[in-house]
């Protein structure tokens, strides 16, 4: 297993939050599309964060960035944007994962090597 970075830990924490949020915020039963989208996004984010521990492949960070876009678009595309806590949670997590992805991409240079400062 590679170096445990603060970005991977934060990514895992955000993924776990996404997995739990439909029940914590009360939209699991009222917004099934939102529940499944958020649940799958959380599982995906956790998986990508674990992959980051063993790989500095820029593709992982691009996938995290794309996941952030999905989190912003999904409530509007799937019609659960009226559930304000779900929408707010997803937008905050999307912003956080976008920042994580951009920071990670900035720290990767060459062919997937991380800078010594990471």
Mind listing the pLDDT tens digit for each residue in 9-20? 899 999 999 999
The helix or strand, by DSSP H or E, that contains position 29, with its residue range, turns out to be none
Q: What is the DSSP letter of 27?
A: -
Ranges of the chain with pLDDT below 50: 110-117
Compute how many other C-beta atoms are within 10 angstroms of the C-beta atom of residue 60. 22
Q: What is the pTM assigned to this prediction?
A: 0.84
In this prediction, residue 7 carries a pLDDT of 82
CA distance 92 to 101: 14
Nearest to 63 by CA among 104, 29, 26: 104
Give pLDDT, residue 109.
Answer: 59
Predicted local distance difference test score (pLDDT) of residue 26: 94
């Amino acid at each position: 297993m590679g170096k445990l970075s603060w970005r991977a830990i934060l990514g895992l924490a955000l993924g776990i939050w996404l997995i739990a949020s439909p029940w914590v915020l009360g939209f699991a039963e009222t917004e099934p599309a939102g529940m499944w989208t958020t649940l799958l996004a959380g599982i995906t984010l956790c998986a990508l964060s674990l992959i980051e521990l063993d790989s500095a492949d820029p593709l992982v960070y691009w996938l995290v960035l794309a996941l952030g876009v999905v989190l912003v678009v999904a409530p509007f595309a799937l019609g659960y944007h009226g559930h304000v806590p779900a929408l707010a949670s997803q937008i905050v997590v999307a912003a956080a994962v976008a920042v994580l992805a951009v920071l990670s991409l900035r720290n990767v240079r060459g062919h997937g090597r991380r800078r010594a400062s990471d």
